[in-house]
Amino acid sequence: MAGKLTAQGTGVLLVTANVGSLFEDPENLQKTWLREFYQAVHTYKPHFIAIHCQEVGGKNYEESMTHVDNFVKELLSSDAMKEYNKARIYLDENYKSQEHFTALGSCYFIHETLKNVQQFDFKAKKFKKVIGKEIYSDTLESTSMVEKEKFPQEYFPECKWSRKGFIRTRWALAECTFDLVNIHLFHDASNLVAWEKSPSVYSGTRQKALGYVLDRITDQRYERVPYFVFGDFNFRLDSKQVIERLCSSATMQTVRAADTNEVDKLIFREVDNDRKVVLQLEKKLFNYINQDVFRENNGTQLLEFDKELSVYKERLHELEISFPPSYPYSEDASQGKQYMNTRCPAWCDRILMSASAKDLVLKPENEDKAVIYDNIGPNVCMGDHKPVFLSFRITAGAGKPNANKHKCCVVQ
């Protein structure tokens, strides 16, 4: 399936997918999800595939972990993946260990034509050749092929059982070395709190956690190499600013709870036009009158309110976004393009990279058409998150010492 390894280089497909929904309704959603994923593999014909999953097992992970095993078995044995004869699967399934459990899953598939792929052993501090297919689950603390951390509890004190953290792996292929980091950052617990100030308190929490990850993966313990960080960042649009834009000609009514006098909901109404409700905002309700604004031109007119990455613009880079907000889609199998009225749609799922990794992706030899940053399954239900992917080619020999003095293996 994958094209022969030629001067065009090694095809790489990076995918990030919050898969929580798949385990609530495995019968319908999982089949659709896998079909769309296989279609992407067929279209882009990568030699190396990395899928970073978050919320493995879903919300009721105690009951759903059996579905996870079926999902992985299907991926490993499916006809669509038969030419990928080497695989490494890392699933954090040990939900009984609250101090370590992240519900992250990192899956890597290597095409039979791709020889001499190596993975880094963080304990031995050396690379090992990848042969065959191996699954590591339950407790990932015992494998030295990944570096896994859950964020300290004080980062998000109001969430008692936070499952947020990161898993890092390091790879050597096509004479190039890079890190792949699976990440899940904190969500917005309340729309009402998110609206209070700009930037929101949640934005600050995510910023702190992301800084923690970047400091960890670029510290002095290991050689510094290009890195790709992809996962569910939970980045949100600046709530206060986006609501002021969406409701610019509306008046706001505040409804308080009778017993506590705390704000229960905000209702924005048009000044005339029979005082029609434009937006109703509650802790877990974001009911806006016209969802088309998030779909027209892929919602890109709202990207000006997508600001959380700007703090790290020197350290993290992203290709241009030209797909609609990746969350929160309806989980109704018949509503592939509809958003749920729970949160303001946002680009939560992203693929970010260091400057040196971006150089690797955007080599002059890589014509624009060879680099694609988009979502998977735009017209069908993939759960509440649409997977986001980056397809590119690593030019053969891009990382040779005589080519810009091993440029691809040095972090800038």
What tens digit of pLDDT does each residue of 347-377 get? 999 999 999 999 999 876 655 568 999 999 9
Span 160-174, average pLDDT? 87
Is residue 242 included in any domain, yes or no?
Answer: no
In a domain, 178, yes or no: yes
pLDDT-derived band at 159 (thresholds 50, 70, 90) equals low
Distance in angstroms (rounded) separating the CA atoms of residues 327 and 236: 10
pLDDT at 407: 42
Phi, psi of 15 (to 5 degrees): -130, 135
pLDDT on residue 404 = 40
What is the C-alpha to C-alpha distance for residues 386 and 373, in angstroms, rounded to an integer? 13
Tell me: pLDDT of 412 over 80. no
pLDDT at 408: 47
CA distance 340 to 251: 24
pLDDT reported for residue 187: 93
Percentage of the chain lying above the pLDDT 70 cut: 91
139 within domain boundaries: yes
Nearest to 45 by CA among 15, 80, 1, 86: 1
Of residues 385 and 404, more confidence is placed in 385
- Give the pLDDT confidence of 17-73 residue by residue, as tens digits: 999 999 988 888 999 999 999 999 999 999 999 999 999 988 887 788 888 999 999
Provide CB contacts within 8 A for 272, sequence distance 6+. Answer: none
User: Tell me, what's the pLDDT at 96?
Assistant: 78
Fill in the amino acid letter for 348.
C
- pLDDT-derived band at 99, boundaries 50, 70, 90: confident
Cα-based distances in Å from 60 to 21, 23, 99, 238: 10, 8, 18, 30
Give me the pLDDT at residue 158, please. Answer: 62
pLDDT at 281 over 70: yes
Can you tell me the distance from the alpha carbon of 343 to that of 283, in angstroms, rounded to the nearest whole number? 9
- Let me know if residue 299 belongs to a domain: yes
**CATH code, domain carrying 329:** 3.60.10.10
In a domain, 112, yes or no: yes
Q: Is 127 a residue whose pLDDT tops 60?
A: yes
pLDDT at position 411 is: 41
Q: What is the pLDDT of residue 5?
A: 52
Token duo for residue 277:
């409700």
Pick the closest to residue 148 from 67, 93, 211 (CA basis).
93
Instruction: Name the residue type at position 283.
Output: K
Helix (H) or strand (E) holding 179: strand 176-184
Tokens (6 digits) for 221? 């313990």
Q: What does the pLDDT look like over 307-327, one tens digit per residue?
A: 999 999 999 999 999 999 999
d(CA 392, CA 53): 20
Residue among 198, 200, 188, 233 at smallest CA distance from 214: 233
Per-residue pLDDT at 101? 87
272 found inside a domain? no
CA-wise closest residue to 38 among 132, 109, 87: 109
Q: Is the dihedral of CA 352, 358, 361, 366 positive or negative?
A: positive
Q: Which domain holds residue 49?
A: 10-236+291-409
Asked whether residue 209 is domain-assigned, the answer is yes
pLDDT at position 65: 80
Residue 274: its pLDDT value, please? 85
**What are the DSSP E strand ranges found in 197-262?**
227-232, 250-256
Which has the higher per-residue pLDDT, 70 or 161?
70
CA dihedral 52, 57, 62, 68 (to 10 degrees): -100
Q: What is the mean pLDDT of residues 273-287?
A: 94
Percent of the chain with pLDDT over 90: 78
Report the distance separating Cα 321 and Cα 300, nearest Å: 8
Q: How many residues does the chain have?
A: 412
Q: At 370, list the tokens.
A: 């060879």
As given in the structure block, the two tokens for residue 371 are: 């680099």
How many CB atoms are located within 10 Å of the residue 192 CB?
19
Kindly tell me the burial class for residue 405, based on how many C-beta atoms sit within 10 Å of its own C-beta (0-12, 13-18, 19 or more). Answer: exposed
Residue 148 confidence (pLDDT) above 60:
yes
Beta-ladder partners of 232 = 184, 349
Is residue 274 assigned to a domain?
A: no
**Coil, helix or strand at residue 394:** strand
Lowest mean pLDDT among 121-135, 254-268, 353-367, 373-387: 353-367
pLDDT digits (tens, 9 = 90+) for 173-198: 988 999 999 999 999 999 999 999 99
pLDDT at site 100: 84
Total structural domains within the chain: 1
For the chain, helix (H) and strand (E) counts, in that order, are 6, 18
CA distance 118 to 130: 5
Q: What pLDDT shows up at residue 9?
A: 86
